[in-house]
Amino acid sequence: MDAILIRGNNQPLRGRVRVSGAKNAALPILCATLLSDGESRLRNVPALRDIDTTAALLRFMGRNVEVNAPEVRVLAGSDVRPEAPYELVKQMRASVLVLGPLVARFGRAKVSLPGGCAIGARPIDQHLKALEAMGCTIRLDRGYVIAEGPSGGGRLKAAEVCFDLPTVTGTENIMMAAALAKGRSTLLNCAREPEVEELGRILNKMGCEVDGAGTDVIHIKGAEPGSLAPFDHAIIPDRIEAGTYMVAAAMHEGSDVILDGAELSDMEALVSKMRSAGVDIESEGQALRIRRQGPIRAVNITTAPHPGFPTDMQAQLMVLMCIARGESVITETIFENRFMHVPELQRMGASIALRGNTAVVQGVDKLYGASVMATDLRASASLVIAGLVAEGETEVRRVYHLDRGYEHIEEKLGGIGGNVARVRNAES
Ligand code: EPU
């Protein structure tokens, strides 16, 4: 498996990075193509392993998918197999996003249960509860969820659903199910992430009436069966990728980096924390300019659903706190096991004490390069960022995870002065 080798130095990062399209917006939108026939065209799609996995899943189900990042075309094939096998779901939990569209469009779905993953148990009870409210019969059989529309595969009916907690893919799955249900559904306590709002835009383009996506209450008037149209759409920028480069830039005093295509309004909680830490962030047209002129101050963060501080930026911000002046308290409230970067950062000289879901970070003067690895995408990104300032060499192993979510990370960091290289087939 490949590794990423980073030679840390004291050189500030300077230059421009183009932000790619949002992985977590592209995945549900690819699944939404199941709701219609004809050719849908997605633009600004990142070249990532998760996109390839979703394409493989759609092909398994009988769709014809051409991936030529940044463009993906999806065409309906003649036969549909409404099934997501374990082999694909185990590679990517977001595969569960086919459940809603499949049962809405074809009256049935067989989708492997995703199981737990490196960051927590991650149940899908809220997805299933909402589908049941829409008239689905759900059964679990040998690791698979088997869902059937009313009266043995009929059309779903609209429902009022109140999620027990805001779930991103849960909200998205049920929006897609409601898109072809009979009547007007009301979804309460919805996730408000920009990616959910983006899916609302797509469903509107396809021809159903979605109102409120991006707020906690979403109304959806289902379209008549067979009436949803294919679409052509450019995906929004990836706010987590942008945030990751923002933190990378902030690691060195004197850095001056422009993030082309970053959307400030989607990143307010992060930007506000970074500014409190002493990083200068300004909007310049369609770009954000990140400059660091003085030392980093310690700030406390608690992750929360959007618009709160994103759990997907917790690991990266922790790395910044590792070199801050003072003590920072970081609390993770979304996932129960999302501190896998901590022992690796400790090996690089960070001073971090873990107490349950809280990490107390004491800033240190220096980090040291080491051979490290992580089993989660964002944790892996945090280790690459740490390597940028560490003395000596850092080897981040198992880059498989990074490749799921960061397009050309070594080239993008290299383009702004980071000394980052990929080592093919390194020992894992
Ligand atoms: N939850 C339940 N029951 C459910 C669904 C969720 O208890 O039926 C819990 C989860 O266990 C978790 C919380 O609700 O404690 C929130 O989870 P959510 O469902 O919102 O997460 P997700 O939809 O599985 C998406 C992103 C994640 C991101 C989270 C939180 C996609 C494809 N994935 O996951 O992204 O961390 O929302 O913002 O959109 C990543 O990109 O690295 C990543 C992990």
Catalytic residue among 31, 117, 136, 322: 117
**Ligand 1, atom 33, residue with closest C-alpha:** 24
Give the DSSP letter string of 247-284. HHHHTSTT-EEEEET--GGG-HHHHHHHHHTTEEEEEE
Percent of the chain with pLDDT over 90: 91
> What's the token pair of residue 314?
């917790």
Mean of the per-residue pLDDT values of the chain: 95
Alpha helices by DSSP H, listed for 134-266, are 150-153, 168-178, 194-206, 239-250
Q: How far is the CA of 169 from the centre of ligand 1 (A)?
A: 6
Report d(CA 291, CA 253) in Å as an integer.
8
Q: Quick one: 196 exposed, middle or buried, by C-beta within 10 A (0-12, 13-18, 19+)? A: buried
The predicted-structure confidence for 117-174, as pLDDT tens digits, reads as follows 777 778 999 999 999 999 999 999 999 999 999 999 999 999 999 999 999 999 999 9
> Which atom of ligand 1 is least distant from the CA of 191?
20
Report d(CA 426, CA 428) in Å as an integer.
6
> What's the token pair of residue 311?
């759990």
Report d(CA 126, CA 132) in Å as an integer.
10
Which segments within 310-403 are labelled E, that is strand? 327-331, 351-355, 358-362, 371-373, 393-397
31 is catalytic: no
> Which atom of ligand 1 is least distant from the CA of 129?
8
**Ligand 1, atom 36, residue with closest C-alpha:** 312
Q: How far is the CA of 119 from the centre of ligand 1 (A)?
A: 10
Tell me the torsion sign for CA atoms 298, 303, 307, 310: positive
Q: How far is the CA of 293 from the centre of ligand 1 (A)?
A: 36
Fold agreement (3-20+237-423, 23-234): yes
Tell me the torsion sign for CA atoms 112, 120, 172, 243: negative
Q: Measured between alpha carbons, how far is residue 34 from residues 102, 149, 152, 312 in Å?
A: 7, 16, 20, 28
- Give the mutation target among 172, 241, 334 for probing the ligand 1 site: most ligand atoms within 8 A of CB: 334
144-170 burial by CB neighbour count: b if 16+ within 10 A, else e?
Answer: bbbbbbeeeeebbbbbebebeebbbbb
Reported pTM? 0.97
Q: How far is the CA of 414 from the centre of ligand 1 (A)?
A: 31
Which DSSP helix (H) or strand (E) runs through 129? helix 125-133
> What's the token pair of residue 203?
């469903």
Q: Quick one: pLDDT band at residue 80, thresholds 50, 70, 90? A: confident
- Give the mutation target among 98, 165, 196 for probing the ligand 1 site: most ligand atoms within 8 A of CB: 165
> What's the token pair of residue 119?
């960051």
> How far out from the chain centre does Cα 69 lie?
18
Site residues for ligand 1, CB cut-off 6 Å:
24, 27, 94, 120, 122-127, 165, 167-170, 191, 195, 311-312, 334-335, 377-378, 405
Residue type, 16: R
φ, ψ of residue 70 in degrees (nearest 5): -90, 20
Residue recorded with tokens 């004490």: 353
Q: Average pLDDT for residues 77-82, to the nearest whole number?
A: 83
Query: Looking at the DSSP assignment, which residues form a beta bridge with residue 391?
Result: 368
Q: How far is the CA of 418 from the centre of ligand 1 (A)?
A: 31
Task: Report how far apart the first and last C-alpha atoms of the chain are (Å, whole number).
Answer: 6
**Ligand 1, atom 14, residue with closest C-alpha:** 167
Q: Which CATH class is domain 3-20+237-423?
A: alpha beta
Q: How far is the CA of 312 from the centre of ligand 1 (A)?
A: 10
pLDDT value at residue 116: 64
Q: Which CATH class is domain 23-234?
A: alpha beta
The secondary structure of residue 126, as a DSSP letter, is H
Report d(CA 58, CA 82) in Å as an integer.
10
Report d(CA 140, CA 111) in Å as an integer.
10
Q: Quick one: pLDDT band at residue 428, thresholds 50, 70, 90? A: low
The predicted-structure confidence for 369-390, as pLDDT tens digits, reads as follows 999 998 899 999 999 999 999 9
Q: Average pLDDT for residues 94-103, to the nearest whole number?
A: 97
Of 11, 31, 129, the closest CA to residue 74 belongs to 31
**Strands across the sheet with 108-112, in order?**
83-84, 108-112, 144-148, 137-141
**Ligand 1, atom 24, residue with closest C-alpha:** 169
Task: Write down the domain spans for the chain.
Answer: 3-20+237-423, 23-234
- Asked if the model's pLDDT at residue 424 lies above 70, the reply is yes
